[in-house]
Structure 1
Amino acid sequence: MPSQAHTIAVIGGTGAEGSGLALRWAQAGHRVIIGSRDGAKAQAAAAELSERLGGGDIRGAESAAAVSAADIVVLTVPFAAQRPTVEGLRDRLQGKILIDVTVPLVPPKVARVQLPPTDSCVVAIQEMLGDGVRVVSAFQNVSAHKLKDLGRTIACDVLVAADDKDARRIGMDLADDAGLRGIDAGPLANSVVAESLTSVLIWINKTYKVPDAGLMITGLK
């Protein structure tokens, strides 16, 4: 069981990354709400995850309802949908922690780093939302297809960046609860590193013909 159980809304939770994280957090004892623009689709995804887990507190809802019911919101949508999704949920996000998993991938050249004018797409979201929302950057470099294999130990660290230290600590705890290792990566401006690394890892996967290159920090106890 986690040291503190949260109600986590995973927006974009019907996708590979979001559903995998949702499954692992439910297994760890958190209450999880799959959020989607299509409430019925979210409910179907939650039922599939619950069946796979053999129980757990997982339900589905339309995104706005999911955010309203949660204390932590995790955004797992493509880069093109990041800003419009957050804009639509802005009022409901106030007073909450938003963990943003977004990577600025611009097809078709996803193996090339293409940062937005702000350098970090997550920093841009913090600036848009203001101080009423504590934004955390995390989980960009985790292989999505491994997350649903609950018997697998994933050899990957998670760089967690946020300006708010308590929110950063919660992000690290959630990484640990998902069977990963959360690493304190400092202020939110440092999220540009994790965002850039994703394209580099895609290039490595292609060059070395591996499915899931990851990141591990050496020298830590």
Structure 2
Amino acid sequence: KESKLLKGMENRNAVEACDIAVITVPYSAHRPTLESLKDVLAGKIVVDVVVPIVPPKVTKVQMPPEGSVAQEAQAILGDSCNVVDAFQNISHERLLSDGDVDCDVLVAGKGKAARQVVLGLVEDTGLKGWDAGVIENCVIVEGLTSVLIGLNIQHHVHASGIRITGIPDQD
């Protein structure tokens, strides 16, 4: 049964139909995926959820030469779109569970207006998002994922996350 909100499509058709594209592929598929969709991603906000996890060293931060995966994406796609990082530090197990996600989302990337749009999407999911600044800050957002995986292994858990504290609620 097809939902009115969700519809399965080939990547190219999905990107052509959207205003905001979300990239969620293994790091090994990141560059080829973006290169194959570059022409249809022009003019879009690209939410990049990819982290540079390179097995078997998943607890070691391994950034691409561009500095971060988001910067790599921006270099591939050029200035015709805004790449924004989000959701990297939330375990897929938390997202799939029925319980509270209980962590925050850091949003960093090109263009304050694009970050604000993505922060709105984060809030639409019921999560708390934080504007983590410019695309150069994505190295920290993405790098935290390897740190969290290491903590999960050390403490025999599956879904550690981050929470920003000390800032009064703005609501």
Global fold match (TM > 0.5): yes
Q: Quick one: which amino acid aligns to residue 27 of structure 2?
A: F
- SS of residue matched to 1:61: coil
AA in 2 matched with 1:169: Q
User: Does residue 168 of structure 1 match 2:115?
Assistant: yes
Within the candidate set 108, 130, 136, 1:189 is matched to 136
Q: In the superposition, relative to structure 1, how do residues 112 and 69 fare at CA in structure 2: closer, same or farther (>3 Å)?
A: same
Does the CA contact (< 8 Å) of 1:154 and 1:179 recur in 2? no
Match of 1:20 in 2: none
Please state if 1:210 is matched with 2:157.
yes
Q: Distance in 1 between matches of 2:66 and 2:150?
A: 23
- Alignment match of 2:49 (pick from 98, 101, 109): 101
Picking from 145, 148, 159, the partner of 1:201 is: 148
Segments of structure 1 that go 5 or more residues without pairing to the other structure are 1-46
> Normalized against structure 1, the TM-score is what?
0.73
Cα separation, 1, equivalents of 2:4 and 2:127: 20
**In the aligned structure 1, how far is the partner of 2:117 from the partner of 2:53?**
26
Distance in 2 (alpha carbons) for counterparts of 1:148 and 1:177:
16
CA contact (8 A) 2:93 2:158 kept: no
2:25 counterpart residue number: 77
Segment drifting more, 82-91 vs 139-148: 139-148
Determine helix, strand or coil for the equivalent of 1:131.
helix
Aligned partner of residue 133 in structure 2, secondary structure: coil
Q: Secondary structure at the match of 2:83?
A: strand
Runs of 4+ in 1 over 6 A off after TM superposition: none
Structure 2 counterparts to residues 1-20 of structure 1, below 5 A:
none
The sequence identity of aligned pairs, in percent, is 48
- Kindly indicate whether the alpha-carbon contact (under 8 Å) linking 2:108 and 2:133 is maintained by their aligned counterparts in 1: yes
Hey, what's the Cα distance between the residues in 2 that align with 1:76 and 1:213? Answer: 20
- 1:156 equivalent among 78, 82, 103: 103
Q: Which moved more, 1:59-68 or 1:138-147?
A: 138-147
Partner of 1:58: 6
Length-normalised TM-score, structure 2: 0.93
Structure with higher RCO (Cα < 8 A, 6+ apart): 2
In the TM superposition, what is the alpha-carbon distance from 1:128 to its structure 2 partner?
Answer: 1.8
1:195-219 deviations in Å (ceiling 9; x for gaps):
1110000000000111100011101
Give unpaired runs (5+ residues) of structure 2.
none
